Structure 1
Amino acid sequence: MSEARAKVLAYLQAQHAMTIASLGEDGVWAAAVFYVNDGLRLYFLSAPTTRHSRNIAHDARIAVTIQEDCADWPQIKGIQAEGRAVEIAGEEERRARELYGAKFPVVGKLAQAPAAIVKAFAKVRWYRFEPERLYFIDNSAGFGHREAVDCSAPA
């Protein structure tokens, strides 16, 4: 495994939210969602009525960013990626739920969650984002420093 890929995988494990940029009939849109990763593959959930979910149904191509909040240029660190998102079901959805529940315990223990959370989860769909191009940004290594990660390489 390349050093850049190892950094990205560690970063994905440490973070929780990503911003999705999508395009639909009403134009471009950005939305933040929680995610879980399985290698470079990212899973998230959302109601199919949200603008970003409708956009994904219209055009599966999206871009995502994952970054920490910081106040100084040299502290900027994160991921930029583009690829495709699709709604999933069956065994892959079960796997996504399992991974998501491990990262976000309220999902893993849904039977014990507050009624409002259980009701909300009954309305969501699960999605997979598969990156085609991915960059790791790290300004601590130099202003504008970014490393490309081979998304087609085996884990």
Structure 2
Amino acid sequence: MEIAMKHDLQRTALDILSSCVDMSVATVRPDGAPQATVVSFAHDGLLIYFGCGADSQKAKNIAREPRISVTMTAPYDDWMKIRGLSIAAIAEEVTAPGELEQVWTLMTERFPQIASVEPVEPGAVKVMRVRPTMISILDYSKGFGHTDLVSIEAGDIAETLDSLRHHWLIPLGEAA
């Protein structure tokens, strides 16, 4: 895929991410059955974050099998303007204090009402980072059912971050 086209599609994906507040997260249960749940999310570029109960089935599923699928649809009032994302991704728990702080900032900016929610006991909630590996962009404005498929590399994620303040990210090639 031509680089300029890939960047245009990534910008479209970012626009859709910014217009959505909820997404469906599909994981795999221990018996192999799929499980889909709706969560609210925040994002920094193409990195997506959500919280879930530490003892939830979703958290257990991700701990066992981090490959997930995510879907979201931007609000629309005209069927021929439907836009959405279907994302193949790797999910993992966020544990670095700096990244957790940044996620809290992203979440409270997106959902100011979170600040008034009664605090939960430490460890009761897990914060998950979703790193896309493939994004299918649905855009009916380009034709009924039109989709574009974009493969996402580590460098693509870095290019879409709102800033390079993410000191917890380890440069490629360096071991932790």
Pairwise TM-score range, normalised by the shorter structure: 0.7 to 0.9
Residue 28 in structure 1 maps to residue 34 in structure 2: yes
Judged with a 3 Å threshold, the aligned counterparts in structure 2 of structure 1 residues 12 and 120 are, in CA distance, closer, same or farther, namely farther
| Structure 2 counterpart of 1:94, from 101, 109, 116 | 101
Aligned residues: 149
Give the strand-richer structure, 1 or 2: 1
- For the 8 Å contact 1:135–1:149, the answer to whether it is kept is yes
Specify the alignment match of 1:78 in structure 2: 84
Q: Percent identity?
A: 26
- For the 8 Å contact 2:54–2:123, the answer to whether it is kept is no
Gaps of 5+ in 1: none
Deviation at 1:71, TM superposition (A): 8.0
In 1: Cα distance, 2:59 partner to 2:36 partner? 11
For residues 3-61 of structure 1, the C-alpha deviation after alignment (integer angstroms, 9 at most, x for no partner) is 21111111111110010000020421000000111111100001022221111011000
In 2: Cα distance, 1:7 partner to 1:121 partner? 37
Secondary structure, aligned partner of 1:84? strand
Specify the alignment match of 2:10 in structure 1: 5
Deviation at 1:114, TM superposition (A): 4.6
Report the residue type matching 1:139 in the other structure: Y
Gaps of 5+ in 2: 161-176
Specify the alignment match of 1:60 in structure 2: 66
Specify the alignment match of 1:46 in structure 2: 52
In 2: Cα distance, 1:120 partner to 1:66 partner? 30
Q: Which moved more, 1:73-82 or 1:14-23?
A: 73-82
Q: Which runs of 4+ in 1 moved over 3 A?
A: 68-73, 119-122
Backbone CA RMSD of aligned residues:
2.1
Residue 123 in structure 1 maps to residue 124 in structure 2: yes
In 2: Cα distance, 1:68 partner to 1:14 partner? 6
Specify the alignment match of 2:170 in structure 1: none
Report the residue type matching 1:131 in the other structure: P
For residues 123-143 of structure 1, the C-alpha deviation after alignment (integer angstroms, 9 at most, x for no partner) is 211000000001210112112
In 1: Cα distance, 2:117 partner to 2:139 partner? 39
TM-score, normalised by the number of residues in structure 2: 0.76
Deviation at 1:74, TM superposition (A): 2.7
Deviation at 1:95, TM superposition (A): 1.1
